[in-house]
Amino acid sequence: MRIVPALLAVVAFAIATPLAQTDEARRISDAMIVLDEIMGAGDQSVPRAILEKAEGIAVFPSLIKGGIIVGGQRGRGILSARDPKTGEWSSPAFLTITGGSIGAQIGAQAVDLILVIQNRRGLEQLVRNQFKIGADASVAGGPVGRDASASTDIQMRAQILSYSRTRGLFAGITLNGSTIRQDRDANDRFYGMGYRTSQLAFEGLGGTPSPVPEWKAALDKYAKP
């Protein structure tokens, strides 16, 4: 009789672990879909000239924003950084984004968000445990279209360029004040170790569990110099 509880615990762990891994893998797959669809948007896509020079790329599929007068947002995403020596992309680190804003707003929407980190300083700020958009690094809306120029003053000053695709209705929204945090629990579930974002982004850790190779291939497809 004493064996039964232990056996049940082992079975429960065996069942729960693949489910948890599937959730993280789905987040990567969703990020690939967002990147593919936004890059396939023609005149509304992220210019390849910007992606080719990116130090890092973060994707937050289906960031939820909503509220009446007092708004808020929450979502989960991933970040990969480019090795400055080899040009190879890191295995993705899992992130969360939360925050709020006060203003004339009503409604709800799902937003697919892409952050293109333009320089090393912006990347180092983003991989910290807690990063506040608009405070810890300069963030600006990026230009769109295949022939868009990346040389305007605001884009030259910005460390991070943001791109979004919106579904639903919402007025007066903003990402300023939102906080991005590392999701070490998700890193632990997916990689089997609770890596810090900096370890995955800068130290080449994590390995290539599925669908990491497909994610790296998608980044190479759109952001290879």
Residue 141 pairs in a beta bridge with 162
- pLDDT (tens digit, 9 = 90+) per residue, 14-32? 444 444 447 999 999 999 9
Per-residue confidence (pLDDT) for residue 139, from 0 to 100 = 80
Q: Which of 80, 94, 86, 73 is nearest to 23 (CA)?
A: 94
Q: What are phi and psi of 207, to 5 degrees?
A: 75, -160
Q: pLDDT tens-digit profile of 75-115?
A: 899 999 999 999 999 999 999 998 765 454 555 677 888 99
pTM of structure: 0.81
* Cα–Cα distance for residue pair 80/173, rounded to 1 Å: 27
Name residues of the chain where pLDDT drops below 50.
Answer: 1-21, 69, 102, 104, 150-154, 171-173
Q: Write out the DSSP string of 142-207.
A: PP-STT--S-SHHHHH-SEEEEEEEEEEESS---TT-EEEE-HHHHHHHHSS---HHHHHHS--S-
Structural domain boundaries of the chain?
A: 25-223
Report pLDDT for 44.
Answer: 78
Alpha-helix residue ranges (DSSP H) falling in 40-64 = 48-51
